[in-house]
Amino acid sequence: MSAPAKKQRRSQEWFGKKDRDGFVHRSWIKNQGYPDDLFDGRPIIGICNTWSELTPCNGHFRELAEFVKRGVYEAGGFPLEFPVMSLGETQLRPTAMLFRNLASMDVEESIRGNPIDGVVLLMGCDKTTPSLLMGAASVGLPTIGLSGGAMLNGKFRGQDVGSGTGVWMMSEAVRAGQMTMDEFVASESCMHRSSGVCMTMGTASTMASMVEALGMSLPENAAIPAVDARRKRLAQLTGRRIVEMVNEDLTIDKVLTREAFENAIRVNAAIGGSTNAVIHLIALAGRIGVELSLDDWDHLGRDLPCLLNLQPSGKYLMEDFYYAGGLPAIIREISHLLHNEAKTVNGRSIVENSQAAACYNRDVIHAYDAPFKDSAGIAVLRGNLAENGAIVKPSAATPALMKHRGRAVVFETIEDFHEKIDDESLDIDENCIMVLKNCGPKGYPGMAEVGNMPLPPKVLRKGITDMVRISDARMSGTAYGTIVLHVSPEAAAGGVLALVENGDMIELDVAARRLHLDVSDEELARRRQFWQAPESPARGWYKLYVDHVLQADKGADLDFLVGASGSVVKRESH
């Protein structure tokens, strides 16, 4: 009996032709010195790189890519690195989230349009992870992720300080008169002292954890520090594995299943992960064709405890997390709650990858039956103020504020907020609820991380460090507080949030999953008569984005990007 015919590589549609077009494809690549036998049908591996000096979190990716290439060559593949739009959270205005979908389009078309059989995604800073996964999911090739890792722990005057979380704390201390500006500035280089992403459980490290929990990376991807030699080792092993995945035809859709997303939601609860994971995973699920909603986040993660004592929910930092056992130790602790058969990119199931994981520090990684915090999963709120939902992160909130009724102090825009918040005459106290409008997907535009509004100085001077805050914005994963986010529909889309006025009473009840504006339907109808929708931007990406972006509860993807187009490109380029 004859052996089954070997499937032709996708890249051979370019390099395998014995004609003028094949000549063009091979010859121009050869100007970089590649020999003939690299075009003989071996897997062509694209290395999708988000390196940029304007994205400091990803500033070490040139070196990391070289280790991926080593692994690809060792396994018999041919690596070709290519750049895509890099989204730096710390530098890009008005917000990196405005460009997540644009970067995903760059990734999608770069993969589809080039002679690639499989792809390695190099991702680090917050939006680079979801944008690369979303773009790759819409193509459907064998795909593996490699995160860049977190920075070393910040060290300032004998204390550990964490990215973002330390900034928010020290900034409030300056505004309260408890820290000088000179001291504040002196901490800058102490906080960020190596390559890598935020070493708190911010969005970057949360999404690196989601990549591992989804099965889209090799084990230990989430927590190895950026400058640890073991990150380079993982890169080399990732290069080897993607070649094997191409040979096995292990495509991304075989890993990103409904079960994988459910696992990731539960892992996110166990690590006290960023609220941004909600919007990114919903968008990713939409690309791969998996039904995922806010209700899934609520019922799957609702009662899970937080096991990880890590900023902003706790004390430690990502470096400590890795030394304590990393994400495999967390996965093992909650394995009885996971779909253990879910396949991962190394060909093994998620439980097989974690069954031998050990915990080396129970103060960092707590046992399931002795958790760090109880019922820490992201809570989804509904009510007349958030008909399509809003979210809050209990593990980062003040327990006493989880049920609260207060008078609304309203800020129409972020500029309105900055103009008023330091004014001593502002009519506000710690019992009020701060409400920020027009910072959602359409309103900002881009849904910036401004939901963690700084408190007014006259409240800070009382020693108060938290108040209930509500907005249609997001917040940094490094932030903390009793902050209601992602209110949907947003104000700029005509949601009830747009109609809130100073003095209105608002009720928050997290246990009951309720967010209610105590204003009659008749009064809201009267107010709506005077509301005007903001004008669409005049041109360019801003216009395309605002005209087509979905609301937060749908992942804030563009309506025409939901789904996939596959990897086939029928027409030649010459």
Q: Where are the beta strands (DSSP E) in 171-228?
A: none
Fold of 379-537+544-553: Glucose Oxidase; domain 1 (3.50.30)
Residue showing tokens 């070196």: 63
Residue showing tokens 């009662």: 303
Q: Is 132 exposed, middle or buried (0-12, 13-18, 19+ CB in 10 A)?
A: buried
Say if CB 325 and CB 271 are below 8 A apart: no
Residue showing tokens 């949030």: 497
Cα distance between residue 411 and residue 456, in whole Å: 13
Question: In 3-state terms, what secondary structure has residue 434?
Answer: strand
Question: What is the DSSP annotation of 22-69?
Answer: HHHHHHHHHTT---GGGGSSPPEEEEEE---TT-GGGTTHHHHHHHHH
Question: What is the DSSP annotation of 475-494?
Answer: --TT--SSEEEEEES-GGGT
Question: What is the DSSP annotation of 374-415?
Answer: SS-SPEEEEETTEEEEEEE-GGGS-GGGSEEEEEEEEESSHH
CA dihedral 520, 523, 527, 528 (to 10 degrees): 60
201 secondary structure, DSSP code: S
> Residue 201: how many CA atoms within 13 Å on its side-chain side?
33
Say if CB 329 and CB 308 are below 8 A apart: no
Q: Which backbone phi and psi does 209 adopt, to 5 degrees?
A: -70, -35
Nearest to 453 by CA among 423, 483, 430, 424: 483
- CA separation (Å) from 267 to 36, 130, 355, 414? 46, 17, 15, 33
Nearest to 310 by CA among 376, 251, 264: 376
Q: What is the pLDDT of residues 73-88, one digit of tens each?
A: 999 999 999 999 999 9
What CATH homologous superfamily does 42-152+194-354 map to?
Response regulator (3.40.50.2300)
Cα distance between residue 384 and residue 508, in whole Å: 12
Give the angle 12-347-283 at the CA atoms, nearest 5°: 80
Token pair belonging to 201:
């459980």
CA dihedral 373, 374, 377, 378 (to 10 degrees): -80
- CA separation (Å) from 329 to 144, 301, 360, 529? 21, 18, 9, 55
Token pair belonging to 428:
């506000």
Q: What is the pLDDT of residue 6?
A: 62
Query: What is the bridge-based pairing of β-strands 505-509 and 403-411?
Result: antiparallel
Cα distance between residue 436 and residue 410, in whole Å: 6
Q: What is the pLDDT of residue 169?
A: 82
Give the angle 405-410-415 at the CA atoms, nearest 5°: 145
- Kindly give, in sequence order, each residue whose CB lies less than 8 Å from that of residue 159, ignoring residues fewer than 6 positions away: none
Nearest to 485 by CA among 508, 461, 459, 455: 508
pLDDT tens per residue, the chain (574 residues)?
444 456 789 999 999 999 999 999 999 999 999 999 999 999 999 999 999 999 999 999 999 999 999 999 999 999 999 999 999 999 999 999 999 999 999 999 999 999 999 999 999 999 999 999 999 999 999 999 999 999 998 888 878 888 877 887 888 888 888 889 988 888 888 788 899 999 999 999 999 999 999 999 999 999 999 999 999 999 999 999 999 999 999 999 999 999 999 999 999 999 999 999 999 999 999 999 999 999 999 999 888 999 999 998 899 999 999 999 999 999 999 999 999 999 999 999 999 999 999 999 999 999 999 999 987 789 999 999 999 999 999 888 999 999 999 999 999 999 999 999 999 999 999 999 999 999 999 999 999 999 999 999 999 999 999 999 999 999 987 778 999 999 999 999 999 999 999 999 999 999 999 999 999 999 999 999 999 999 999 999 999 999 999 999 999 999 999 999 999 998 998 8
Token pair belonging to 219:
């084990």
Say if CB 369 and CB 391 are below 8 A apart: no
Amino acid letter for position 411? F
Q: Which backbone phi and psi does 495 adopt, to 5 degrees?
A: -65, 165
Residue showing tokens 């002292």: 193
Say if CB 141 and CB 66 are below 8 A apart: no
Element (H, E) at 435: strand 433-436
Token pair belonging to 290:
């998996």
Residue ranges of the chain assigned to CATH 3.50.30.80: 379-537+544-553
DSSP lists the bridge partners of residue 161 as: 154
Q: What is the pLDDT of residue 1?
A: 45
Q: What is the pLDDT of residue 259?
A: 98
Say if CB 298 and CB 486 are below 8 A apart: no
Q: Which backbone phi and psi does 474 adopt, to 5 degrees?
A: -105, 180
Cα distance between residue 105 and residue 133, in whole Å: 11
Say if CB 15 and CB 23 are below 8 A apart: no
Cα distance between residue 396 and residue 312, in whole Å: 7
Nearest to 84 by CA among 137, 47, 59: 47
- Kindly give, in sequence order, each residue whose CB lies less than 8 Å from that of residue 26, ignoring residues fewer than 6 positions away: 15, 39
Cα distance between residue 109 and residue 117, in whole Å: 14
Predicted model pTM: 0.95
Q: Is 31 exposed, middle or buried (0-12, 13-18, 19+ CB in 10 A)?
A: exposed
Amino acid letter for position 510? V
Say if CB 428 and CB 491 are below 8 A apart: no
Q: Tell me the helices (H) and strands (E) count for the chain, helix number first.
A: 20, 14
Say if CB 485 and CB 432 are below 8 A apart: no
Cα distance between residue 158 and residue 182, in whole Å: 17
Residues in the chain, how many?
574
